Amino acid sequence: MDFRHTMKGRRALGAVTITTGLLLTVVGCGGGGGGEKSDGTPSSKPAGGNSGSQSRTSSDPTADTALAEVKTGDIRLTVTSALRDQGGFVTVSGQVTNNGGQFWIAANWRGDERELTRNGASLAGASLVDTKGKKKYLVLRDTQGRCLCTKFDGGGVDAGKTTDWFAQFPAPPQDTTTVDFQVGGMPPASIEISQG
């Protein structure tokens, strides 16, 4: 084999090695190998939440299973689970209910960062605050700036409807079991993290 063929082989091997490394990085950031669909949403739904905005009547009983519930005006945010996964992240999920008479637009929930404006009406601006460790955790994003969170179809929630939501965050240290969940103008909700 001459020198030219040897160099081509080394380049091909190098390309394969780099590609494999990038794939492993993406899978690791995606939370335990779940990967992503081509539309940027997680391929597996977290317990209690989904990436769509299936609506149902606000008579659903969630108060019995809620970790926390906060209200601002006619909007009620309920947190039903906060699971720590082995992949190094926490998935928080619940419901948002519009008890008002008009369509609610979730525009201020997407966050103030320029990168987050492409997420539209979503939970991209949500955060977890570890008061014990004095650290704030922002919603995880893919390499194109799309949040690993619910994006509200139509930009919000219809009057009298309840919509499921989820958001994924980097996990705080193992000994941190209580954090504050915050999104938009809603008051902080103190929640307890459980092992997934």
Tens of pLDDT, residues 148-175: 999 888 888 999 999 999 999 999 999 9
Instruction: Report d(CA 163, CA 54) in Å as an integer.
Output: 6
Percentage of the chain exceeding pLDDT 90: 43
Per DSSP bridges, beta strands 194-195 and 75-84 are parallel
What pLDDT score does 11 carry?
Answer: 54
Q: What is the pLDDT of residues 81-104, one digit of tens each?
A: 999 998 899 999 999 999 999 999
Do 128 and 170 contact (CB within 8 A), yes or no? no
- Region for residue 8 given its phi and psi (left: phi exceeds 0; alpha: psi -120 to 50; beta: otherwise): alpha
Instruction: Please give the structure tokens belonging to residue 19.
Output: 């590609």
Question: Which residues have a Cβ under 8 Å from the Cβ of 151 and sit 6 or more positions away?
Answer: 41, 51, 119, 120, 121, 122
Contact (Cβ atoms closer than 8 angstroms) between residue 189 and residue 79: yes
CATH of domain 55-195: 2.60.40
Distance of CA 144 to CAs 14, 119, 179, Å? 25, 10, 28
Per-residue pLDDT of the chain (196 residues; tens, 9 = 90+): 554 544 455 554 444 445 444 444 444 444 444 444 334 434 333 443 333 433 343 444 445 689 999 999 999 999 999 999 988 999 999 999 999 999 998 877 887 776 666 677 888 889 999 998 999 999 998 888 888 999 888 888 999 999 999 999 999 999 999 999 999 889 999 999 998 7
CA atoms within 13 A on the CB side of 50: 8
